[in-house]
Amino acid sequence: MNGIIVVPRESAAEPGLWTRTTGGVGYLKRQARLLRAVGVTRLLVVGDDRVRDALESVAVGRLAVIDDVRVVAIPTDAGTEAARAAVLTAMTGADGPTVVLDARYVLERGAMKKVAARDPGAGVEVATAGGEAIGLAVVGRDGLAAAVDRALAGEIEVPAGATRFELGASDLVGRVTDAASHAKTEHALWERCRKVVDGFVSRNLNRHISLFISRRIATSPITPNHVSSFTLVLGLVGAFCAWHGTYWWVLAGAFLLKANSVLDGVDGELARMRIQSSVLGEWLDTISDDLSNQSFFLAVGFGAAHVTGDALWLWLGVASVVPLFLTSAQYYFWLVKLGRGDVLVFDWFKTEARTAEELARRSGKERFMDLVTQLFRRDAFVMMLLVMAVFGVVQYALFVVAPAAWATFLAVLLRTLRGDMVKSQAGAGPGPKVA
């Protein structure tokens, strides 16, 4: 698939706007990575000669995007026909549909994926949100020239004869026309890192801290995979501390596990903002969580048994880790088959938004199950472990972890035997592309 990013000629009056960074990546480079993530393999970046530096930045430097990137910097005094000819010449030999994106519009990756799946034939299909055009179209060869003319002129109205297709209102993040609107759009992108599936502790504590950190390291060379690896080290060091069994060692271990839980959000936030997701990154994140949890529970059991001389704690630790390991193995089997690495592709937790009326209609049983679900989310449970460690009773959590882990294992096993695992994919966004 082909892609064209167009900086309207009227917008070239502020060349500095297009060299700004967004989430640690150059604004236009992020737009290019967004197109690459949905299957664009040949990209043309078009704009006035005044924004040449911004256009050329897409193809060079750290986090370069697509191998076949061509830049068309149109002389400021060139007319419409000359501009069109330059673009069509650069697109010579391009087959298949072309996604044309007005650089001013920032969209969600899911929206871009919907657009990339369209087949305009020889015509033009224009995306709208709330009935309004949003500077995005997919065109056949015959409609390319007119689409580029409109984009360069900054026209976004749906042309006569074009097919329009509606995207969700939330698919449009923002429209960048000046420094203020850029800042507003970037802020909106950061806020969208907050997930519907975030638990209570994550929403009210962890996510605030992780976003604070992510914003400050976004422009650094640190990658999401670096963060995932670091959180794994924190988790394993936390388990090593808990292994000693004495109060201060266990408290240090619980604190490191809590730090692991907080930083667990940073890798995903960086990947989302930079459009830098990868299957390897998903696996690193998943394995980091699983190894951190399992090693900590085993260490708590061993440490308590060593300090108290009561072997019951060791057996409880083993009884907790075995079902957790078996559950992970089942998930890993299905993730390998799906070509993914993120357990959130399964609908283990309900993620749909519910209205106040729907929440009010919940039965007592539903409310109880919601509470239990929230308590056993990783963010909440790790927080409870830290509190218990403060009071020197963290080993008693194993009386809850062991039966809960076996119940989870049996539930996942049942779903596997019924063939429900693949059917229950939550559709948690499009699959990642290698960064």
- The amino acid occupying position 373 is T
Res 319: pLDDT: 97
Residue 430 lies in a domain: no
Taking alpha carbons only, the member of 97, 85, 83 closest to residue 42 is 97
Residue 334 lies in a domain: yes
* 49 and 77 fall within a common domain: yes
Taking alpha carbons only, the member of 328, 344, 334 closest to residue 268 is 344
Res 65: pLDDT: 56
Is the CB of residue 128 less than 8 Å from the CB of residue 172? no
- The pTM assigned to this predicted structure is 0.85
Res 433: pLDDT: 41
Residue 98 lies in a domain: yes
Residue 428 lies in a domain: no
Does the structure show a pLDDT above 80 at 94? Answer: no
User: Exposed (0-12), middle (13-18) or buried (19+): which is 366, by Cβ within 10 Å?
Assistant: exposed
Which of 99-103, 159-163, 312-316, 338-342 has the least mean pLDDT?
159-163
* 176 and 279 fall within a common domain: no
- The amino acid occupying position 352 is E
Res 364: pLDDT: 64
* 184 and 223 fall within a common domain: no
Mean pLDDT value of segment 312-319: 97
Is the CB of residue 75 less than 8 Å from the CB of residue 85? no
- Full domain range(s) for residue 409: 193-423
Residue 201 lies in a domain: yes
* 416 and 289 fall within a common domain: yes
Does the structure show a pLDDT above 60 at 63? Answer: no
**2 vs 318, higher pLDDT:** 318
Q: Which of the listed residues 129, 157, 189 is the one where a domain comes to its end?
A: 189
* 327 and 271 fall within a common domain: yes
* 228 and 145 fall within a common domain: no
3 state SS of 121? coil
Residue 247 lies in a domain: yes
CATH code of 174's domain: 3.90.550.10
**125 vs 185, higher pLDDT:** 185
Highest mean pLDDT among 71-75, 168-172, 272-276: 272-276
Q: Are strands 124-129 and 105-107 parallel, antiparallel or unpaired?
A: unpaired
* 341 and 376 fall within a common domain: yes
Residues in contact with 420: Cβ distance below 8 Å, sequence separation at least 6, in sequence order: none
Q: Which of the listed residues 149, 168, 189 is the one where a domain comes to its end?
A: 189
Is the CB of residue 261 less than 8 Å from the CB of residue 322? no
Does the structure show a pLDDT above 60 at 204? Answer: yes
Count up the domains in the chain and report the number.
Answer: 2
Residue 255 lies in a domain: yes
* 299 and 411 fall within a common domain: yes
* 159 and 217 fall within a common domain: no
Q: Which of the listed residues 172, 189, 206 is the one where a domain comes to its end?
A: 189
Residue 435 lies in a domain: no
- The amino acid occupying position 169 is A
CB atoms within 10 A of CB 204: 11
Is the CB of residue 234 less than 8 Å from the CB of residue 259? yes
Is the CB of residue 386 less than 8 Å from the CB of residue 254? yes
* 147 and 296 fall within a common domain: no
* 10 and 47 fall within a common domain: yes
Mean pLDDT value of segment 193-201: 85
CATH code of 300's domain: 1.20.120.1760
How many percent of the chain have pLDDT more than 90?
Answer: 41
Res 434: pLDDT: 39
Is the CB of residue 98 less than 8 Å from the CB of residue 6? no
Highest mean pLDDT among 19-33, 87-101, 258-272: 258-272
pLDDT tens, position by position, 206-259: 999 999 999 999 999 999 999 999 999 999 999 999 999 999 999 999 999 999
Tokens of 403: 């039966």
pLDDT tens, position by position, 118-139: 877 777 888 888 888 888 888 8
pLDDT tens, position by position, 352-407: 445 445 555 666 655 555 555 666 688 999 999 999 999 999 999 999 999 999 99
* 91 and 205 fall within a common domain: no
**42 vs 289, higher pLDDT:** 289
